[in-house]
């Protein structure tokens, strides 16, 4: 297996997430002006640093101010092409070990928080647990017929992680999402069939009814997902 630098491992998720976002085309003149403006360049680089820091928080357990100082000093020295204050090669095995141990700790903490959330949500009044484990709580009933498992539907939705992080929203795009229920995650396939046109519901998807152990954009592996779903209409 080829060796990959630590910096590349930190930056890769940021680049992958950026590719998931569709940016409107900007006039070339505006782009060149932004590149030539020192203030805009500083804001861009600050934003990159902020994203790197946010990504580090997701991968490492940093316990105190000294941890942050040592980490930031090492990054600063490297970026300024200064001589390392330590024998970096000597500490590579410990770095790898820390990544592995911290990944386990972060995963265990997140799984415990998700399980607590799922258990508490299931106990809420009006929650219906479906045969695949997905849960739905109607806030507006709607009228008409329910869609079938192979129906094509049009919905508005907002998707968040259990910590409130929003990862997608048709409402933000200003356009309802249309799909065949056989082509979406199993959580949706089952939950949307419980809704009538005009209905609105909170749909909670355990990881195995969503994306499982696959990371998708801002969604980490094995994530429980929460959707605020409104069934606009049944196409067929």
The 10s digit of each residue's pLDDT in 71-100 is 999 999 999 999 999 999 999 999 999 999
Q: What is the domain range of residue 27?
A: 6-85
Are the C-beta atoms of 159 and 202 separated by less than 8 Å? no
Distance (Å, whole) CA 231 – CA 200? 6
**Residue 102 covered by a domain:** no
| pLDDT for 218 | 83
Distance CA 34, CA 149 (A): 49
Rounded Cα–Cα distance for residues 182 and 164 (Å): 27
Q: Is residue 178 part of a domain?
A: yes
How buried is 14 (Cβ within 10 angstroms: 0-12 exposed, 13-18 middle, 19+ buried)?
A: middle
Which pLDDT tens digit goes with each residue over 148-203?
Answer: 999 999 999 999 999 999 999 999 999 999 999 999 999 999 999 999 999 999 99
**Phi, psi for residue 158 in degrees, rounded to 5:** -130, 130
Q: Could you tell me if 45 and 138 lie in one domain?
A: no
| Minimum mean pLDDT range among 38-42, 57-61, 179-183 | 57-61
Q: 3-class DSSP state for residue 119?
A: helix
Please check whether residues 57 and 12 belong to one and the same domain. Answer: yes
Q: Please indicate, yes or no, if residue 103 is contained in any of the structural domains.
A: no
Catalytic residues: 157, 167-168, 185, 211, 227
Both 143 and 45 in a single domain?
A: no
Q: Please check whether residues 163 and 59 belong to one and the same domain.
A: no
User: Whole-prediction pTM value?
Assistant: 0.71
pLDDT at residue 23 in the model: 33
Into how many domains does the chain fold? Answer: 2
């Amino acid at each position: 297996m080829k060796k990959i630098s630590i910096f590349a491992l930190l930056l890769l998720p940021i680049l992958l997430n950026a590719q998931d976002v569709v940016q409107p085309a900007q006039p070339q003149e505006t782009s060149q002006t932004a590149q030539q403006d020192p203030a805009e360049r500083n804001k861009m680089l600050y934003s990159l640093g902020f994203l790197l820091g946010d990504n580090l928080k997701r991968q490492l357990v940093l316990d105190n101010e000294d941890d942050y100082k040592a980490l930031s000093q090492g990054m600063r020295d490297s970026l300024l092409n200064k001589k390392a204050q330590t024998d970096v090669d000597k500490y590579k095995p410990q770095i790898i070990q820390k990544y592995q141990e911290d990944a386990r700790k972060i995963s265990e903490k997140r799984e415990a928080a998700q399980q607590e959330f799922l258990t508490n949500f299931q106990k809420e009044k009006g929650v219906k647990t479906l045969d695949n484990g997905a849960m739905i709580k109607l806030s507006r009933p709607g009228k008409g017929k329910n869609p079938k498992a192979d129906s094509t539907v049009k919905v508005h939705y907002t998707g968040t992680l259990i910590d409130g992080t929003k990862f997608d929203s048709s409402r933000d795009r200003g356009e309802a999402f249309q799909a065949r229920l056989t082509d979406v995650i199993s959580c949706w396939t089952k939950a949307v069939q419980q809704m009538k046109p005009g209905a609105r519901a909170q749909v909670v998807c355990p990881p195995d009814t969503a994306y499982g152990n696959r990371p998708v954009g801002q969604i980490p592996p094995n994530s429980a997902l929460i959707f605020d779903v409104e069934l606009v209409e049944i196409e067929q």
